[in-house]
A and B are shown apart, each in its own frame.
Chain A
């Protein structure tokens, strides 16, 4: 049933109330992926260079998580439905 409706209607965009949830999903997934990647790199470095010490893995994880957080933050800030007051001022200042 759901598949047919999705086929026939071909949802052009998600419902407005789901916008924020979708962003959250994206963000969390991104955060997870990035932090895993970072942690992976850290582990590899620790194995190869640092005699299996722990801190490179933590550092990698931190880098990945930070990267994910930054991206998420940007996404949330930019998508507030039109330009907010502060953003408008910032734009004005930059231009």
Chain B
């Protein structure tokens, strides 16, 4: 409690002292009010009633305190918030200036502590109150705490408290928000935090970032925006590009095959055409307009193609025209016009004449034209004479040339003839020469051929001879061999027979050996079997006859029947031996006695049951022979009878019918009987097998 850190301790101690002092003061005051009952400055008489402790009523009590200087330190100790206001009235007289509220705040905490401390020593109070004198030292309040503020300033402050608080709160909030925005612009980490958790933080930060961005790049956005508007508009017409539709001609053709038309009959063509006209009014009109145009074009075209005819026509027309007029110059007419030049000239003149005729002033040009005509005829005559002269000259020249050529040809022919005869002579000579040569070569070849054929013939002859000799030799050898063979076969055949008979003999002997072996085997088996039988039937039983059985098995070898029969025997039988029949009978008598004792036992019998059964069995009547019935007594009687007859098998069967205690008692006997029966059965089987084997051996013979 008192262990306060740093600067606090001194103040705390002072406070404690102060509070103690205040307590004393209070107590003194209490004593005062108790005794005089009336105080000059007491305002609240109701509060004075609770002075019992002097601790809980400190606050209210301090107010009316007459001693002003001591009251100020006490006030903080009061827990009530209204204390400062109430403290004010007594304090104004204080010499020291206020600063009280700030000072009060720290002291209040320490005062509370003192409160807790003070109750620890309640006993001291009265003592102190009694001992210490009431006047407080005047120095203490002056040094300790400042007097409260002036009365005028305090109420104003109080009224503005909430407003101040709100203002400071908003200021602080906005400041921190602004700081947050600023810092979030600086640090990415804080930016994330700020935008995530502070309301409106993201918007604010974004706004500032946007502003920053705009300031830095003033034309960043303007560059993007107008680019779109500036793009020229491209409009694609509706009917552009390729379509799926076939191209339709402007003049729609309506050809309905089903309709009446020229392809069906020639009759309705007109109607058709009318229809068509109706259907296609415009186009029809067009075509009708076009047709005349075409006709005109054709007329024009035909004009140039038929030029000559046009000329002739023109000439005829001229003639007509001249004929038509009053006077006209007759055109030039010449029959013997061969030269084309003259002809052209005539044509020119004729055209001129026609022109003149057409012009109407034919008379004016008559002279000129007539002169021209005469000139023309003259020219024609001159050309004719020139042509005649030329023809004569050429004829003469031709004749002279003909003679020359004939002489030259004759000389050439003679030359050619002489050359041909020379060639003929030469070829004849060469031919002769060649023929002689060929004849000679043929002769040579003939001789060669002859020689060769001779040689071949000789060779063939020799070969034939040799072949004959070889054949003779072969025949000779063959004969000799045949003879030798026959000789040999005569002796060797006998040898073969001998070997065959020897083989047969050996076979016979081996088969006989088999038979002998089998015989031996069967005999051995019989012997072994007899040994076994003797062993188990001997009166010295029980005695093991393992060796006998082993011998039997070995003798039997791989005989399945024998091995199976031996396997069927309980091994205990030949390991420990089997009882003889007499032994069995003997034991049966003992067993029967015991079984009879338990014959009358009730089911699940106890001591009493057994006792009664034992007692009653003594008085039972004995049966004889093959008794009827399934009771124990009759079963026993039957078994005894069977045993006496030597039928162990039936006896065992009978005993097997027992049940309960009697069966339990007869169990051992049954087991022994079964052992004996098993052995007997096995031995019987083996004996049958042995007999069968011996029969087989006999059959083989």
- Interface, chain A (partner B; CB < 8 A): 15-21, 23-24, 27, 69, 72-74, 76-77, 80-81, 84-87
Q: Is B202 part of the binding interface, using a Cβ–Cβ cutoff of 8 Å?
A: no
Q: Which of B563-610 contact A (CB under 8 A)?
A: 590-591, 594-595, 597-598, 603-610
- Residues from chain A with a CB closer than 8 A to the CB of B610 are 20, 23-24, 76
Do A73 and B660 have beta carbons less than 8 Å apart?
no
Alpha-carbon distance between A80 and B595 when the two chains are bound, in angstroms:
13
Q: Which of B51-59, B139-147, B314-322, B661-669 contacts A (4 or more CB under 8 A)?
A: B661-669
- A17-B669, A76-B609 known; A84-B663 Cβ under 8 A: no
- State how many angstroms separate the Cβ of A25 from the closest Cβ of chain B: 13
Do A81 and B604 have beta carbons less than 8 Å apart?
no
- A76-B609, A76-B610 known; A81-B603 Cβ under 8 A: no
Give chain B's interface secondary structure class: helix
22 cross-chain CB contacts under 8 A: A15-B668, A16-B667, A16-B668, A17-B591, A17-B594, A17-B665, A17-B669, A20-B598, A20-B661, A24-B610, A27-B607, A72-B607, A74-B606, A76-B605, A76-B606, A76-B607, A80-B664, A81-B660, A81-B661, A81-B667, A84-B604, A86-B604
- Residues from chain B with a CB closer than 8 A to the CB of A80 are 604-605, 660-661, 664
- Residues from chain A with a CB closer than 8 A to the CB of B594 are 17-18, 20-21
Q: Which of B424-457 contact A (CB under 8 A)?
A: none
- State how many angstroms separate the Cβ of B640 from the closest Cβ of chain A: 15
Alpha-carbon distance between A29 and B594 when the two chains are bound, in angstroms:
20
- Residues from chain B with a CB closer than 8 A to the CB of A77 are 604-606
- A77-B605, A77-B606 known; A84-B665 Cβ under 8 A: no
- Residues from chain A with a CB closer than 8 A to the CB of B595 are 17
Alpha-carbon distance between A20 and B605 when the two chains are bound, in angstroms:
12
Alpha-carbon distance between A1 and B607 when the two chains are bound, in angstroms:
36
- State how many angstroms separate the Cβ of A87 from the closest Cβ of chain B: 6
Alpha-carbon distance between A18 and B597 when the two chains are bound, in angstroms:
12
- Interface, chain B (partner A; CB < 8 A): 590-591, 594-595, 597-598, 603-610, 660-661, 663-669
Alpha-carbon distance between A85 and B603 when the two chains are bound, in angstroms:
8
Do A16 and B664 have beta carbons less than 8 Å apart?
yes
- Residues from chain B with a CB closer than 8 A to the CB of A21 are 594
Alpha-carbon distance between A77 and B608 when the two chains are bound, in angstroms:
10
Alpha-carbon distance between A27 and B668 when the two chains are bound, in angstroms:
23
Alpha-carbon distance between A15 and B590 when the two chains are bound, in angstroms:
11
Do B663 and A81 have beta carbons less than 8 Å apart?
yes
- Residues from chain A with a CB closer than 8 A to the CB of B603 are 84-86
Alpha-carbon distance between A26 and B607 when the two chains are bound, in angstroms:
12
- State how many angstroms separate the Cβ of B145 from the closest Cβ of chain A: 99
Do A19 and B606 have beta carbons less than 8 Å apart?
no
Chain A residue at minimum C-beta to C-beta distance from B610:
A76
- State how many angstroms separate the Cβ of B585 from the closest Cβ of chain A: 14
Do B666 and A16 have beta carbons less than 8 Å apart?
yes
Chain A residue at minimum C-beta to C-beta distance from B662:
A81
Alpha-carbon distance between A73 and B611 when the two chains are bound, in angstroms:
11
- A76-B610, A80-B660 known; A17-B590 Cβ under 8 A: yes
Alpha-carbon distance between A85 and B605 when the two chains are bound, in angstroms:
12
- A17-B590, A17-B668 known; A69-B604 Cβ under 8 A: no
Alpha-carbon distance between A32 and B610 when the two chains are bound, in angstroms:
18
Chain B residue at minimum C-beta to C-beta distance from A14:
B668
Alpha-carbon distance between A23 and B597 when the two chains are bound, in angstroms:
13
Chain A residue at minimum C-beta to C-beta distance from B576:
A9
- Residues from chain B with a CB closer than 8 A to the CB of A74 are 606
Alpha-carbon distance between A69 and B608 when the two chains are bound, in angstroms:
9
Chain B residue at minimum C-beta to C-beta distance from A68:
B607
Chain A residue at minimum C-beta to C-beta distance from B670:
A16
- State how many angstroms separate the Cβ of B658 from the closest Cβ of chain A: 10
Do A19 and B660 have beta carbons less than 8 Å apart?
no
- State how many angstroms separate the Cβ of A10 from the closest Cβ of chain B: 13
- State how many angstroms separate the Cβ of B608 from the closest Cβ of chain A: 7
Alpha-carbon distance between A24 and B606 when the two chains are bound, in angstroms:
12
Alpha-carbon distance between A23 and B607 when the two chains are bound, in angstroms:
10
Alpha-carbon distance between A87 and B660 when the two chains are bound, in angstroms:
13
Alpha-carbon distance between A77 and B610 when the two chains are bound, in angstroms:
10
- Residues from chain B with a CB closer than 8 A to the CB of A17 are 590-591, 594-595, 665-666, 668-669
- State how many angstroms separate the Cβ of B660 from the closest Cβ of chain A: 6
